[in-house]
Amino acid sequence: MKGFGIHTSLWAHDWTEQAARQAIPEAAKNGLAFVEIALIEPNRAETAVTRALLEQHGLDACCSLGLPEDARPTNNADKALEFVTLALEKTAAIGAKLFTGVTYGSIGERTGKPPTTTELDAVARFLDKAAAVARGFGITFGIEVVNRYESHLFNTTEQAVALIERVGAPNIVLHLDTYHMNIEATGQANAIRAAGAHLAYIHLSESHRGVPGTGTIAWDEVFAGLAGLGFTGGMALESFIYMPPRLAAALSVWRPVASSRTAIIEEGLPFLRNKARQYGLI
């Protein structure tokens, strides 16, 4: 995954034919290289029209998700693997080569305590099996670091790198997110630097998840960190406009984060592109 992309939550969270017909042409019109398709319910995700539209418009795609609450590696590893296997089948059918997100648990998974050795062992065993399934499809398997309010398992780059190196699967990569780093990191550039060669994908999301450039993210630090790392992976603008109640609750989003999709695309996207250009990333 390379270049600038956009998360399809800007249009819809249920990936239907209608969503594909709206999001993919609009992403192409705005000169993006790829779309990130949320597979919230992979059994219902449309694939055939999606693949045809991606080919028609010359776009790449990746897919992402968080696991259901009843299919976590920590409470039902077999069901979690079954769910991820279906999502990987859909990812392959779409023609995407990266599958990422909170692929090791559910969004909002917290026990009120630090992760136990038993939980971390369960996640490592699960990722070893899930990454093997992904390899069978020729898909890279990403893990996204999220903040303490969305998971108690992995909140920092260092924790995720330790997990990746423990599992040792050749196709597992790290996925960072500026929104989460803004909460957890001792500095955006520090978090990026600690990722090293494991970093393959990043969400560019404002501190309030709205229009990039209108919040408190240290964008110069973000892009300087990426440039210093020699980053060549995918950079996805992520802002939530349309959210199903279950996901809104898990993410604690109680109000609109932007006035419109147009504001995010016409104001936020040029802002991010200018920063990336300034630091020689595009």
Point out the residues that are catalytic.
144, 238
CA–CA dist 142, 268 (Å, integer): 25
Those residues whose C-beta lies under 8 Å from the C-beta of residue 76, and which sit 6 or more positions away, are 70
Spatial CA neighbour of 231 closest among 164, 173, 168 = 173
Tokens 């630097």 identify what position?
193
Structure tokens at 239: 């802002």
Burial status of residue 103 (CB atoms within 10 A of its CB: 0-12, 13-18, 19 or more): buried
Q: What's the alpha-carbon Rg for the chain, to the nearest Å? A: 17
Name the β-bridge partners of 38: 64
Structure tokens at 68: 């259901």
Q: What is the DSSP secondary structure assignment for residue 151, as one 8-state letter?
A: B
Tokens 């955006």 identify what position?
188
Spatial CA neighbour of 123 closest among 182, 168, 169, 167 = 167
Structure tokens at 56: 């028609």
The amino acid at residue 279 is Y
User: How many residues can be counted in the chain?
Assistant: 282
